[in-house]
Amino acid sequence: MISENQLELFEKVVEHYEDGLECNNCGVVQPVEKFQHMVSGEIKRKCRTCAREQSNLVKYLKKLHPYPDDSYTCPICDRSIDQIGKKGQKRLQNWVLDHCHDTETYRGWLCHHCNTGLGAFKDDINRIRNAVAYLQKHEEIAHD
């Protein structure tokens, strides 16, 4: 059930973007109603059509690539699912299918944290290299 406060916020957001929003995925400017609205008032910047297509792609890739067995560890952080979800967080107790958004191909199964990290860096190797260099520089300073 949407509260009066949330409805007011939604109306303000719609008014602010009366010309529409550009989808970060397909680049098409569409009415704000074509985007998912979060309870917080935030509007997801991927249109519902693109979000549905991605969901269908992930379902298809999951059919082709079996879920990892109990001995599997995340190829990035090298932790098991038991280690990742040891504090009982449901979202962390499952592997996430990782795929390339450009080629729509399967890359592997990751933990939630590592998949989110790659997404935050937009799967951009240069951003990830810069992040590594930044951390290494800080580590050197901290140990001097």
Residue 88 sits in a domain whose CATH number is 3.40.1800.10
pLDDT in tens, 66-86: 999 999 999 999 999 999 988
Judge if 110 and 56 occupy the same domain: no
For residues 108 and 75, state if they share a domain. yes
Residues 41 and 99 in one domain: no
Residues 75, 140 within the same domain? yes
Query: What is the number of domains present in the chain?
Result: 2
Instruction: Give CA–CA dist 36/27, Å, rounded.
Output: 16
Q: What is the pLDDT of residue 67?
A: 97
Domain boundary among 31, 64, 97: 64
- Please report the pLDDT score of residue 63 as a whole number: 97
pLDDT of residue 96: 96
21 with 83, same domain? no
Which of 64, 82, 98 corresponds to the end of one domain?
64
Backbone torsion region of residue 80, taken as left when φ is above 0, otherwise alpha when ψ lies between -120 and 50, otherwise beta: beta
Quote the DSSP letter at residue 66. P
Q: pLDDT tens digits for 9-51?
A: 555 555 567 789 999 999 999 999 999 998 888 999 999 999 9
**How many Cα atoms sit within 13 Å of 17 on the Cβ side?**
20
Same domain flag for 32 and 84: no
Q: Where would I find the H helices in 3-144?
A: 4-16, 48-64, 81-84, 112-120, 125-142
Q: Are residues 37 and 70 in the same domain?
A: no
Residue 9 near residue 37, CB atoms below 8 Å: no
Q: Are residues 98 and 132 in the same domain?
A: yes
Gap between the Cα atoms of 100 and 94, Å rounded? 19
Residues 92 and 143 reside in one and the same domain: yes
What domain range is 112 assigned to?
66-144
Q: Are 38 and 16 in contact (CB under 8 A)?
A: no
Q: What is the pLDDT of residues 84-140, one digit of tens each?
A: 988 877 778 899 999 998 999 999 999 999 999 999 999 999 999 999 999 999 988
How deeply is 9 buried, as exposed, middle or buried, from its count of CB atoms within 10 A (0-12, 13-18, 19+)?
middle
Q: Are residues 78 and 130 in the same domain?
A: yes
Point out the domain boundary residue: 64, 88, 114.
64
- Cα–Cα dist 78/75, whole Å: 5
